[in-house]
Chain A
Amino acid sequence: MIRFLLRRTVSAVVVLLVLAVVLYAVFYLAPGDPAQLSCGPKCSPAQLVQIREQMGLNDSVYVQFWHFLQGIVAGHDYSTGTGTEHCSAPCFGRSYRTGELVSDILVAKLPATASLALGAMVLWLILGVGTGVLSALRRGRPTERLLTGLTLTGTATPVFIIGILLLMLFCSVLQWLPYPTYVPFTDDPQEWAWNLLLPWLALALVESAKYARLTRSSMLETLAEDHIRTFRAYGVSERAIIGRHALRAALTPVIALSALDLGSMFGGALLTESLFNVPGLGQKLVQSVELKDLPVVVGIVLVMGFAVVIANAAADVLYALADRRVVLA
């Protein structure tokens, strides 16, 4: 286990480093002058020179990249003019445009993204596993065909279409819900949930289809296995077989997959965030890419990469915990 974690850590660091290099290279190649971004449009050439100096843009790419890595590992001190400000260890630098510390941006945007991802996951697990079990139970009957059709439709619908339709239905036609605005949990838990309901639903409807199919197919697979035959041959009822044996087997991949999905949801729900105006990492990323705000982009993508790498490891651990036969390697 320790060895596994160690190896995972090393490979995670490698993956993240590769990611950082790639992003850095990509954006270094991109047209646009960060100093200009920082200074604003009506900036004089003399001022630009000063700002370039201040931002360290006169160093070579390698030096800049090295400083960037140093910041992540050891933190960085910035001059505030009147003194210095310490940006503690995982320091991704500061936004070219607003001068904010990227870490502050990340901390500020994470709650919204986390709220979106976690809530959606709960919902999609309930919906997905429920549908999957039901359609496995009712296999061969009209219910199953209906559910299969529904999940197929779910997988085929882009999240922004579901999103727009939900908005149309609940906010415009029925007017049951306000047009969603993110309210932090700490401000008002009820409003938080109420406003996130639609984005959760949109994500959950799309994702749950995948889970329903996974649950159903792994249940059916399990039901065709020899050990199920054993329990049938010993008079165990079909309900108990499905509830105890088939579901148990089906949950393993479901749990592992949801860990993965949760990971990529951390910043991956770009469309949902921008459609429902959830001020999370994804939305910030899209904005920052447009503005070529390199430190923010790299910061967010690294955090996302980190989340996914953690999720990958978590999925493997969960898998191994759920299924003792799996050896971690």
Chain B
Amino acid sequence: GPKDSAAKDSSDAKPAKGGTLYVLNNQAQEDFDPARLYTSGGGNVPSLVYRTLTTRTRANGAEGSKVAADLATNTGEPSKDATVWTYHLKDGLKYEDGTAITTADIKYGIERSFAAELSGGAPYLRDWLVGGAAYQGPYKDTKGLASVETPDAKTIVFHLNKPEGEFPFLATQTSFAPVPKAKDTGTKYAEHPVSSGPYKVIKNENNGEHLVLERNPNWSEATDDQRKAYPDSIDVQAGLDQAVINQRLSTGSGKDAAAVTTDTNLGPAELAKVTGDKALASRVGTGHFGYTDYIAFNPKVKPFDNPKVRQAIAYAVNRTTVVNAVGGSSLADQATTYLPEQASFGYTPYDPFPAGKTGDPTKAKQVLAEAGYPNGITVSLTHDVTKADEQGPEVATAVQDALKAAGITVKLDGQEHKAFGDKIHNVSAEPGFFLTGWGADWPSGGPFLGPIFDGRQIVKDGYNFNIAQLDDPAVNQEIDEINKLTDLKAAATRWGALDKKIGEQAVTVPLFHPVYKRLFGKDIKNVVISDWTGVLDISQVSVK
């Protein structure tokens, strides 16, 4: 399992209300419209403004990878086969302007996420809701989406076209946030969204580069047991260089003492400095987000159609150099399983091609000979040219170097970031051997294994995520079976078993799971880092 998430407070004092929390970020909050947001669990900053039917549990470690009720009274009431889900709203829910939140607003918010003008959100609703695929959003189709019913202002019912036991996870996404139709300004809504959460937006400059949030007086602690909302205001400054963020946090002078970052890891160069400084080391939060970086194969391309070739590569890979390439053992854990090492995903340890920490070139050579290549092969590895990227040149060259020892000559085929993405997700252009990674939309095996290995999800004329183009009826059926389960614990166990089964086919070679190491300011108290997000939860932080 994952090492303990180091979520210790920097002081023992009790958290208290007041003050301003500063968030120093690299990426601007460009998508701030609830319909366009994709972030898992609603994202760190957005979830301060948008409440959703359910939300993630705000707790340290594994506890934090569970779903909790938010606007709804519980995490959802499924029908027997998990195709109909019903939610009831809590009492006393209000927007920032004091008006009451109704289920009609939630339905409207969901419908908005279908509009072409507001593209960018997750595809699940479209795939799962009855009639979702054809629906064009409320601007074009004012009749609305019939599969979302609001029998009264406090009840909302979802009709799905197949069993989905994990619907409560989906309901954490911001498309489930209420949007009052009268206040909808379409593409401009993000400039001033109507808050249902503990903070309202005072300023949104340069498309999310600078956000200022202030306490929403109409939010009541009584209806929200997840968000703490200690600071009176929150100032999010984005577009900062990662080195700047880390330097400011480590110096921590002035306002920076009350600052955190939600998107910037300590870089390798900075780690070298932090490890030598005790005081600084105590201000580093370590988190695990469910993510796996791996080598992918397209078994339609020679010689990767030969499982032995794929296995030889699995044996040859030196995970130590790979991990070093992304910043060393503090920033990545070596991976042999496809699922991240967290119980919620159904992690089941296995290593079908054991090669130790640094690879086993001898074994690899032998397997390669069995495959019919006693004199080695020359292959081309496609990767992203973006430097310091998990699929970037550093990792690619590490793989290249390790495979050399096994007689596999690797030519590097670097692609621009965008071109790389376009290429590997295009069935007809997909290279045979490339680097990629996957993070689930919520901490469960479903969104981890489904999109990647479900043969029915191979997209021929769009973005395809079933990169291995695996269409194994047994796998497909097992996915369907697990999806029916509403007992998430039981589901997790079966996901783990499925992972092992797929792993033995060597359609991927897992490389590592990234680890988040993030600094926070001196005045930051009540640090909570869940395994869901892997980052410090700013709804829990206090600066007083």
- A59 sits at the interface (CB 8 A): no
Contact A292:B418 (CB < 8 A) given known A40-B120, A99-B187: yes
- Is A45 a contact partner of B38 (Cβ separation < 8 A)? no
B216-271 interface with A by 8 A CB criterion: 239-241, 243-244, 247-248, 251
Digitize A31-52: 1 where CB-to-B-CB distance is under 8 Å, 0 elsewhere.
Answer: 1110011111111111110110
Closest chain B residue to A293 by CB distance?
Answer: B418
**Chain A minimum-CB-distance residue to B112:** A81
CB distance B239 to A279 under 8 Å?
yes
Q: Is B301 in the interface zone, CB < 8 Å from A?
A: no
Docked Cα-Cα span, A60 to B237, in Å, equals 41
* B26 nearest CB neighbor, chain A only: A277
Q: Tell me whether B207 is interfacial, beta carbon within 8 Å.
A: yes
Interface segment among B94-102, B131-139, B314-322, B374-382: the answer is: B131-139
Segment of A144-152, A176-184, A207-215 in the binding face: A176-184
Give chain B nearest CB distance to A59 CB in angstroms: 16
Instruction: Identify which of A38, A82, A85, A98 gathers the most chain B CB atoms within 10 Å of its CB.
Output: A82
Q: Is B146 in contact with chain A by the CB < 8 A criterion? A: no
In this assembly, does A79 line the interface, its C-beta being within 8 Å of a C-beta of chain B?
Answer: yes
Q: Mark A262-296, 1 if CB is under 8 A from B, else 0.
A: 00000000000000010100000000001110000
The CA of A85 and the CA of B540, in the complex, are separated in Å by 38
Q: Does any Cβ of A come within 8 Å of B275's Cβ? A: no
Contact with A along B413-451 (1 / 0, CB 8 A): 000111101100100000000000000000000000001
B356, CB-defined interface residue at 8 Å = no
CB contact between B116 and one of A37, A51, A179 (< 8 Å): that residue: A51
- Residue from the list A39, A51, A100 in contact with B207, Cβ < 8 A: A100
Listed in ascending order, the chain B residues whose CB lies under 8 Å from chain A are 30-31, 38, 112, 115-123, 126-127, 133-134, 136-139, 184-188, 205-207, 209, 239-241, 243-244, 247-248, 251, 386, 416-419, 421-422, 425, 451, 459, 461-463, 465
Q: Are A81 and B463 also in contact (CB < 8 A) when A37-B418, A42-B122, A54-B116 are?
A: no
Q: How far is the CA of A218 from the CA of B377 in the complex (A)?
A: 64
Inter-chain contact A38/B120, CB cutoff 8 Å: yes
User: B30 touching A98 by the CB < 8 A rule?
Assistant: yes
CB <8 Å contact, B123 and A178? no
How far, in angstroms, from A54 to B140 measured CA to CA in the complex? 11
How many chain A residues have a CB neighbour from B under 8 Å? 44
24 contacts between A and B (CB under 8 A): A31-B419, A37-B418, A38-B119, A39-B119, A40-B119, A41-B463, A43-B462, A44-B123, A45-B461, A46-B126, A47-B123, A51-B116, A81-B112, A81-B117, A81-B138, A83-B185, A85-B186, A99-B117, A99-B187, A100-B207, A181-B248, A277-B240, A279-B209, A290-B386
Find chain A residues with CB under 8 A from B207 CB: 98, 100, 104-105, 108
Q: Supply 11 further A-B pairs (C-beta < 8 A) apart from A45-B461, A47-B119.
A: A32-B418, A41-B425, A44-B133, A50-B116, A50-B136, A79-B117, A80-B185, A81-B115, A181-B241, A181-B248, A290-B418
**Chain A residue at minimum C-beta to C-beta distance from B207:** A100
A-B contact count (CB 8 A): 124
**B355 to nearest A CB, angstroms?**
31
Q: Give Cα A206–Cα B30 distance, bound, in whole angstroms.
A: 35
Question: Contact partner of B31 among A32, A45, A98, CB < 8 A?
Answer: A98
Residues of A within 8 A of B418 (CB): 32, 37, 290-292
Provide the residues of chain B in CB contact with A221, threshold 8 Å. none
Contact, CB under 8 Å: B244 / A277: yes
Q: A44-B462, A80-B186, A80-B188 are in contact. Are A180 and B119 (CB under 8 A)?
A: no
Question: Nearest B residue to A277 by beta-carbon distance?
Answer: B241
Across the interface, do A45 and B462 meet the contact criterion of CB distance under 8 Å?
A: yes
- Does A77 count as interface, using CB distance less than 8 angstroms? no
**CB–CB A85/B188 < 8 A:** yes
Interface pair A31/B139, CB less than 8 Å apart: no
Residue ID in chain A nearest B205 by CB atoms? A108
Complex Cα distance A11/B81, Å? 71
> B residues within 8 A CB of A99?
117, 187
